[in-house]
């Protein structure tokens, strides 16, 4: 999977004040992208931007809650007024509501006992709000010479692997989270098809099992590795894939 330098490009990354989003911002910033960190906590977002700027990266922050429709308009206005385009959108913000990932003995609630509230809260962030934000910002992505949209998914959203007793994720099921990521993957496929005759590419990223607050301490990848897949998909060349699901350049089954 070949990638390009992105000097001068503008990227908006949701949920980027820490964890996967912050590492994605760092990866993109290192190759010359101007990164805009979306963070529910404006102070933490600015602190993250300062940390990146100290590393020579051009970084800004924007107080942004993906579940707040007014913030979608706020992001659009900010990007439109300042840059009149958006080269890269990384839909990174997401939630996990079904278990305590910091505890190795915590088990997700089975689907037969999952509350409607947890299901709705998970889908509101991981799917509905993400779709709505992408729809809002798409006119700005269309203005970019070669827009890239990255939907941060998870291998747990792979129906193929979840249904295969021989797969590494077969025994670990968190219904709300997994289903929300499967739905996000469906959005990737459908939006990529809609935009197939443009220069925009839309792909899903499985960042890996990373030692973030969500991934927990037992994860197999360090935080510093967590943004690599999203950054790769955000900088695809013109002949790169569209409408796929990837981890570090390798296809993940739907």
Active site residues: 177
Residue 84: φ, ψ to 5°: 60, 25
Residue 201: φ, ψ to 5°: -120, 135
């Amino acid at each position: 999977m070949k990638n390009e330098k992105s000097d001068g490009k503008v990227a908006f990354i949701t949920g980027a004040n820490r964890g996967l989003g912050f590492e994605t911002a760092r990866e993109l910033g290192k190759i010359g992208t101007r990164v805009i960190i979306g963070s529910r906590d404006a102070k933490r977002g600015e602190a993250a931007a300062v940390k990146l700027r100290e590393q020579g990266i051009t970084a800004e922050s924007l107080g942004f809650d993906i579940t707040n429709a007014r913030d979608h308009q706020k992001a659009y206005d900010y990007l439109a007024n300042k840059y009149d385009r958006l080269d890269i959108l990384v839909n990174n913000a997401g939630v996990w509501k079904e278990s305590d990932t910091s505890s190795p003995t915590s088990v997700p609630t089975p689907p037969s006992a999952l509350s409607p509230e947890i299901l709705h809260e998970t889908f509101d962030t991981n799917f509905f709000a993400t779709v709505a934000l992408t729809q809002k910002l798409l006119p700005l992505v269309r203005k970019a010479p070669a827009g890239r949209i990255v939907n941060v998914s998870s291998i747990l959203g792979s129906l193929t692997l979840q249904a295969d007793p021989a797969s590494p994720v077969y025994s670990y099921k968190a219904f709300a989270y997994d289903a929300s990521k499967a739905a996000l993957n469906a959005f990737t496929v459908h939006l990529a098809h809609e935009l197939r005759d443009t220069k925009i590419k839309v792909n899903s990223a499985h960042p890996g099992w990373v030692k973030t607050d969500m991934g927990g301490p037992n994860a197999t990848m360090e935080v510093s590795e967590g943004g690599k897949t999203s950054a790769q998909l955000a900088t695809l060349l013109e002949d790169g894939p569209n409408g796929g699901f990837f981890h570090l350049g390798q296809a993940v089954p739907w």
